[in-house]
A and B are shown apart, each in its own frame.
Chain A
Amino acid sequence: MKFGIVVFPGSNCDHDAWYATSHNAGAQAQMLWHKDTMIPADIDCVILPGGFSYGDYLRCGAIARVSPIMTAVRKHAEQGKFVLGICNGFQILTESGLLPGVLLRNASLSFICKDIHLRTEQILSPFTSSFEQGQILRVPIAHGEGNYFADEQTIHILEQEQRVAFRYCDANGNITTEANPNGSINNIAGILNDKGNVLGMMPHPERCCDPLLGNSDGLGVFTSLMQTVGLY
């Protein structure tokens, strides 16, 4: 199992993603440059990491969307291979149209950097198969634009097709307004595409994979993929 982590100018969680996948999860990982026009055939999962690609100019993810590697990322996804967008990576995926909807400014207008709780809503996906249904995870968020929005029809489809992978919840797993840090519709923290091979999420699983940090709740996202691909 090999991860390819895209480095955009302004990415700042690329090394965290590399460390989590290679050191904590024990997979192979290599960095990919935003100017690359192809993704090596041995890459199973492309990670679009967190950060502020292109300084968040215009809109978060809007400029990264037109960078050369994104054409290759689209092809990679079309082949049924995996794409994981974390935080800014999620914003890039919505801007690219690889995932529906958009990430608006947080309802509080503040940049929020803290640990939150997530409820695992969908465990049949290749990104979540090692979790238990409803499992509560403690994962950090760090964003100013994480307020998931889509039109009513899109939300209806996402819910009906059970494509919400994670929701913000309280410590006991209750989906409440108080537990929603950014105003996202239906407390949505992460969604899957229709084929289930693309996941975008605002929380940072790669920042909680090392037991030394006191929390390895995020590791399951990467080990789920490794179990799916079948090559530890």
Chain B
Amino acid sequence: MKHFKAMITITLRKSILDVQGKTVEHALHSTNFTSIDQVRIGKYVELTVHAADTQQAMSIVDDACKNIIANPIMEDHHIALEEISVGEHA
């Protein structure tokens, strides 16, 4: 059994106007950060998971994202996995 840390980024779907991101984008532009083009604001979730291998861990976390952690109607999620040693905390 292997242990993994999953780092999950949740953002609003591209088709949905991210008002908060737009507001920050305007704020950056008005403070002369003119080379910043687009801002999107989301959520970050970190969790640990045990599974036989990376593939299985990814499948478990992806399932959790689709069911509870993200709402697919409005959000996209991206998962990054990192193997950790037993007992190591995220």
User: Which parts of A118-153 form the interface with B (CB within 8 Å)?
Assistant: 149-151
Is B69 on the interface with A (CB-CB < 8 A)?
yes
Counting CB contacts under 8 A, is A104 at the interface? yes
Mostly helix, strand, loop or mixed at chain B's interface?
mixed
Among B17, B69, B74, point to the contact of A102 (Cβ < 8 A). B74
Q: Which of A94-121 contact B (CB under 8 A)?
A: 94-95, 101-102, 104-105, 107-109
- 9 interchain residue pairs of minimum CB distance: A102-B73, A102-B74, A109-B19, A59-B71, A107-B19, A102-B71, A104-B74, A109-B20, A149-B74
Q: How large is the interface on B (under 10, 10 to 19, 20 to 34, 35 or more residues)?
A: 10 to 19
Q: Please report whether the interface of chain A is mostly helix, strand, loop or mixed according to DSSP.
A: loop
CB distance from A226 to the nearest CB of B (A): 34
Tell me, rounded to whole Å, the shortest Cβ–Cβ distance linking B6 to chain A: 16
Task: Flag if A58 contacts B68 (CB, 8 Å).
Answer: yes
Partner of B23, one of A58, A62, A109, A151: A109
* B1-42 interface code vs A (CB 8 A; 1 in, 0 out): 000000000001000110110010000000000000000000
Q: A66 on the interface (CB 8 Å rule)? A: yes
Known: A104-B74, A150-B73. A66 touches B19 (CB 8 A): no
Report the minimal beta-carbon distance from B15 to chain A, rounded to whole angstroms.
8
Chain A residues proximal to chain B, CB less than 8 Å: 58-59, 62, 66, 94-95, 101-102, 104-105, 107-109, 149-151
A58 pairs with B73, CB closer than 8 A:
no
User: Chain B contacts of A66 at CB under 8 A?
Assistant: 68
Q: How far is the CA of A101 from the CA of B71 in the complex (A)?
A: 10
| A151 contact set on B, CB distance < 8 A | 73
CA distance A104 to B17 in the complex (A): 10
Identity of the chain A residue whose Cβ is nearest the Cβ of B69 in the assembled complex: A58
Known: A58-B68, A59-B71, A66-B68. 9 other contacts (CB 8 A): A62-B68, A62-B71, A101-B73, A104-B16, A105-B20, A107-B19, A108-B19, A109-B20, A149-B16
CB<8 Å pairs between A and B, sample of 18: A58-B68, A58-B69, A59-B71, A66-B68, A95-B71, A102-B71, A102-B73, A102-B74, A104-B12, A104-B74, A105-B19, A105-B20, A107-B19, A109-B19, A109-B20, A109-B23, A149-B16, A151-B73
Which chain A residues lie closer than 8 Å to B23 at the CB level? 109
How many Å lie between the Cα of A62 and that of B12 in the bound state? 16
Nearest chain B residue, comparing its CB with the CB of A109: B19
The CA-CA distance from A59 to B17 in the complex, in Å, is 17
Bound: A205/B12 CA distance, A: 31
Q: In whole angstroms, how far apart are the Cα atoms of A15 and B8 in the complex?
A: 38
Residue of B with least CB distance to A104: B74
Q: With A and B bound together, what is the CA distance between A215 and B69 in angstroms?
A: 40
Q: Can you name the residue of chain A whose Cβ is closest to the Cβ of B67?
A: A66
A230 to B12 CA separation, bound complex (whole angstroms) = 45
CA gap between A102 and B13 in the complex, in Å: 12
- CA distance in complex: A62, B43 (Å): 15
Q: How far is the CB of A52 from chain B (nearest CB, A)?
A: 17
